[in-house]
Chains A and B, each alone.
Chain A
Amino acid sequence: MEFLKYTAKRVLQVIPLLIIVSLISFFIIRLSPIDPLAELRLNPSISQETLDKEMKRLNLDKPIYIQYFSWAKSFIKGDLGYTTAGEKVSTKLKERIPNTLLLTMVVIFMTWAAGVPIGILSAVKKETSLDRLLTVISSIGMAIPSFFFAILMLIFAVKTGWFPVGGLTSYNFNEMGFFEKIADISKHLVLPVIVLFTISLSGLQRQMRANMLEVLDSDYVKFARAKGLSEGKVIFKHALRNAVNPMITLLGFEFAGLLSGAALTEYVFQYPGLGRLILEAVMKSDINLVMASLMMGTIMLIAGNLIADILLMITDPRLRGRS
């Protein structure tokens, strides 16, 4: 019961937040000097009537607050509107979301599967040469800019010919058999996954190491050791369960990044995901598309936090008492 009440409260808190975020982003985009019709204005073969018609279609002839209200009204009804090119925003997003999810989920799964054990390992082997080596590797991973690394990977792909240069599927994808299709997609995913994996692994690994060290230093671990428990039991049964709590909060943020986290890498690899779509939408001030993606990002962030909180309540008995 407590649990449901808490969740309901959190969901209600979302509403004012969404209103504020939408207001700020809508006005910032609309007040920026980007004119969605600039290209048309400079086209010698476009007449004034055509320009006026376009202004009307895009609602640009109305004051900005009316534009906002008409957007908000249809958003509440679940209608995301049309892009400046006249396509449905919802279909555009639907085309791209699965691709981005595929990429980010593979990356998140791999980073967590690798990052947590490596973090534990380097905490347990603190200040040995193994730990130092891992520290150096993760520092490199943190220091290298993602787009630069992505470009290096592309050049690698061109020079060796082992991997395709960007994209998600080959041009003859539709004529392939089932297993060939899987192989084709995997081949396209390798490079972007390597880039994103290297970069997010380092942070996660360092975080896990720090948490683990803190816990290993605590009194109850010392007590457990003094009790004569085996090292494995101390680490996995006592230390790990406590060290993993902050990681759950982190997982909540990872969830928020599911749809937006890989924009830069997507762009370099020409990956047909949301990042590329939204970047181009912002450049062209395609308001409905930008707003839809921003709203989606906000909702994902809030949902991620909510999930993390709920998970924490399940894993951490102390929190259950408090709420």
Chain B
Amino acid sequence: MNKVFSLILILVSLGILLKACIRQDIPQSFPERIITRELREINYPDNEKNINLNGVDYLQSQAPVGKFGGELIISTIGEGPKTFNPCNTKDATSSAMAGMLYDGLVTTNPVTGDVKPLLAKEFSVNGCDYVINLRKGIKWTDGKPITAEDVMYTYNEIVFKGLGNPSAMDAMKVEGKLPVIQKLDDYTVKFTTPKPFAPFLRQLSYPIVPKHYFKPYSDKGESVFNAFLSPNTPPAEIISSGAFMLKEYVPAQRVVFVRNPDYYKINLNDNKLPYLNKVVYMIVGDTNNEILKFEAKEIDVLALRGSNVARYKIREPESDYVIYNLGPDTGTLFLVINLNNRKDKDGKPYVNPIKHKWFANRDFRASIDWALDRKNMVQNIALGIAEPLFTAESLNSIFLNKYIKGHPCDLNVAEESLKKAGFINREGKLYDADGNRVEFDLYTNAGNLEREAVGVMIKQDLENLGMKVNFKPVEFNSLVNKLTNTHDWDMAVMGLTGSPLEPHDGKNVWTSSGSLHMFNQRPANYKIDDRLDWEKEIDEIFTKGALKLSFDERKPLYDRYQTIIYNQKPIIYLYSPIRITAIRKKFKNVFPTSLGGLIYNLDEIYIDEDKN
């Protein structure tokens, strides 16, 4: 008995001792200022100049002159690159790595989102004609000049043939036809699109590859080309054009890039960039490991998520890092409603006709929109690191319709519009005009904690209106199957990543024949025209919008499509996460922008240990 007693005593005192060791470093509440703080006002000098020195057309960076040397260590989550072939990348990591190696003709201005020349010296657009002047005297890493032949080769024999990843070719087609490319002289090429096609200029950012290195492989056909430049290629053999060259790839550990000593970008003192000797990508399996690596100072940049933001923010003053708020990102989280009224092969409707009657009613959808408490979701699920969203374009899009202000959550308005639609609330239970209880399924992909939490909140919010929501998280693949194949779902919480620069990229979602037109998916080769009026209008907008070339002409069209979606609410947008990133203070020439991110200008970033 005595023994038992002393054992308990020891355990209790041990427990108290251990408790004393736990230092609380996560604050209970989130200070408002962290959440609302804006992007720091640092202006990136984006007015780069073309300068001809000794017959070479250099691109002169206007950023402050820095010191040469040092290395930047970043992380990439997942399995690492699958290929270094820029024409065959199918995942984000591979395209980032291959993008380090090969420059495109043009690139995006990280501040304004405009198209600016990169490998091209300058370009001019005249209707369907795009004349591109190349830089004279610039070279591949093996010393051979970069000429119009390489551009011709890249487009004619890779892009337009659909070699590698054919999505670039798909995107360039205008009504099924591809542009034509012509060589005017050794340093000038001309593209001609079949019709004026706005997205085309931006598509010229496709990486240009060296003909003399790629051709032997592309000639041997698809399978040889797909295996070409696999991660096992000896780095010394790779001929590239980017600011950094591949030095080493260690599977599942890291990818090391070293500075290209003969890059065509120079600083204000006419010295060749980049400043950094090395850029290292550490391949880490998950975000937890990434955080540990940042804490252990093994990596220099960290994307902060959730509760970590507050913790890092509090420790920022006495730390060696700075935190930047890059604003909302392109990811969107939304609730999509199935408006499908078609029948499957056996004549059975995909959606129960009783439910379809509710879903097809605009007032019903509006009541859902008004009942959802986005602020609450942002505070409790995203821990304040997000922004409520009401538009189909993401918040950092240059085409964002700024007139759509959104609305707060208001149950009265929601109930009002339900009444208008003929629904009756009896003792907290909602019935339609025919006396059917309003009950439907809400799906999302299981395992995604954020979406599951959002689903639970939507369920609660809608139950305030008397709707019965059966929330069913299912395996990701079965959800995709439901959305794209079997169509037997009522509502779903989903997310997609859009392009902040080109709304036309969303055409698969918004046009009525699109393959991701989830809320009213038509089968492939569907002949019957059963488009809703507003679907028709959106179809027209997307056709017209692609044909107009100037931003000012396009903007009102895409504003209109966002207004239609906001009014019709087939997809109800919820929120967009905010990107918050920490980087070590020693790195200079860091000019975070909403469109470019934090380290888009790797060739201008340098290290200065002294001044902070």
The reply on A165 being an interface residue by CB < 8 A is: yes
Instruction: Collect the chain B residues with CB atoms within 8 Å of residue A44's CB.
Output: 496, 498, 505-509, 516
**A-B interface pairs (CB < 8 A), number:** 127
- B480 contacts A35, C-beta separation under 8 Å: yes
- Residue with the highest number of chain B CB atoms closer than 10 Å, among A44, A154, A166: A44
Distance to closest chain A CB from B79 (angstroms): 6
Chain B minimum-CB-distance residue to A54: B90
How far does the alpha carbon of A85 sit from the alpha carbon of B88 in the complex, in Å? 10
Contacts of B227 in A (CB 8 A): 86-88
Contact present for A165 and B484 (CB under 8 Å) = no
The answer to whether B496 and A42 touch across the interface, beta carbons within 8 angstroms, is yes
Question: B280 to A171, Cβ gap below 8 A?
Answer: yes
| Contact B170 A171, beta carbon cutoff 8 Å | no
Residues of B within 8 A of A35 (CB): 477, 480-481
Interface residues of B in 254-273 (CB under 8 A from A): 254, 256
- Per the 8 Å Cβ criterion, residues 31-64 of A in contact with B are 33-35, 38, 40-42, 44-50, 53
Question: Does B250 sit at the interface, judged by CB under 8 A?
Answer: yes
Interface residues on B, range: 35 or more
- Of B83, B167, B232, B256, the contact of A171 (CB 8 Å cutoff): B256
Give every chain B residue within 8 A of A267 (Cβ-Cβ): 285
Q: Is the beta-carbon distance between B296 and A165 smaller than 8 angstroms?
A: yes
Q: Least Cβ distance of B445 to chain A in Å?
A: 9
A47 touches B167 (CB 8 A): yes
Residues of B within 8 A of A193 (CB): none
> Residue of A at shortest CB range from B495?
A42
Whether B253 is near chain A, meaning CB under 8 Å from some CB there, is: yes
* B396 at the A interface (CB under 8 A): no
Q: Which residues of B contact A280 (CB under 8 A)?
A: 79
Q: Return the contact of A95 from the options B166, B251, B256 (Cβ within 8 A).
A: B251
Do B496 and A96 have beta carbons less than 8 Å apart?
no
Q: Is the CB of A48 within 8 A of B515?
A: yes
Q: Which of A111-170 contact B (CB under 8 A)?
A: 154-155, 157-158, 161, 164-169
Binds A, one of B287-295, B357-365, B584-592: B287-295
Residue of B nearest to A281 (CB): B79
B478 touches A33 (CB 8 A): yes
- Taking a contact as CB atoms closer than 8 A, the residue among A45, A92, A167 that contacts B167 in the complex is A45
B570 beta carbon closer than 8 Å to chain A: no
Which chain A positions have C-beta within 8 A of B404? Answer: none
Q: Which residues of B contact A273 (CB under 8 A)?
A: 252
Contact A45 B508 (CB under 8 A): yes
Is the CB of B190 closer than 8 A to any CB of chain A?
Answer: no
A272 within 8 A of B: yes
C-alpha spacing A92/B252, complex, angstroms: 10
Cβ contact within 8 Å between A171 and B282: yes
A276-B252 CB under 8 A given contacts A47-B170, A87-B231: yes
- Inside 8 A of A218's CB, which chain B residues have their CB? none
Provide the bound-state CA to CA distance between A34 and B453, in Å. Answer: 23
A165 and B289 contact, CB distance less than 8 A: yes
Cα distance A38–B477 in the bound complex, in angstroms: 6
Closest residue to A173 on the B side, CB-wise? B250
User: What chain A residues lie within 8 Å of B477 (beta carbons)?
Assistant: 33-35, 38
Whose C-beta in chain A lies nearest to the C-beta of B515?
Answer: A48
User: Which residue of B91, B285, B507, B524 is within 8 Å of A276 (Cβ)?
Assistant: B285
Shortest C-beta distance, B24 to chain A (Å), equals: 16
User: A44-B498, A96-B252, A267-B285 are known contacts. Are A49 and B170 too (CB-CB below 8 A)?
Assistant: yes
Cβ contact within 8 Å between B295 and A158: yes
- The answer on a CB contact under 8 Å between B292 and A45 is no
Q: Does A91 contact B (CB under 8 A)?
A: yes
**A268 CA to B480 CA, complexed, in Å:** 30
In the complex formed, the residue of A with least CB distance to B479 is: A38
Asked if A277 lies at the interface with its beta carbon under 8 angstroms from chain B, I say yes
Taken together as a complex, chains A and B put the C-alpha atoms of A317 and B150 apart, in Å, by 75
Known A44-B506, A47-B515: A167·B292 in contact at CB below 8 Å: no
Q: Let me know if A270 is at the binding interface, CB within 8 A.
A: yes
- Bound CA–CA A33/B485 (angstroms): 14
CB distance from B462 to the nearest CB of A (A): 25
Contacts A87-B232, A88-B230, A174-B256 known; list 18 others, CB within 8 Å. Answer: A33-B477, A38-B477, A42-B480, A44-B509, A47-B167, A47-B515, A86-B83, A87-B230, A95-B252, A164-B296, A165-B296, A167-B282, A169-B253, A173-B250, A174-B248, A272-B251, A276-B252, A277-B252
Question: What 8 A-B pairs have minimum CB-CB distances, sorted nearest first?
Answer: A272-B252, A85-B82, A47-B170, A95-B251, A35-B477, A38-B480, A38-B477, A165-B296
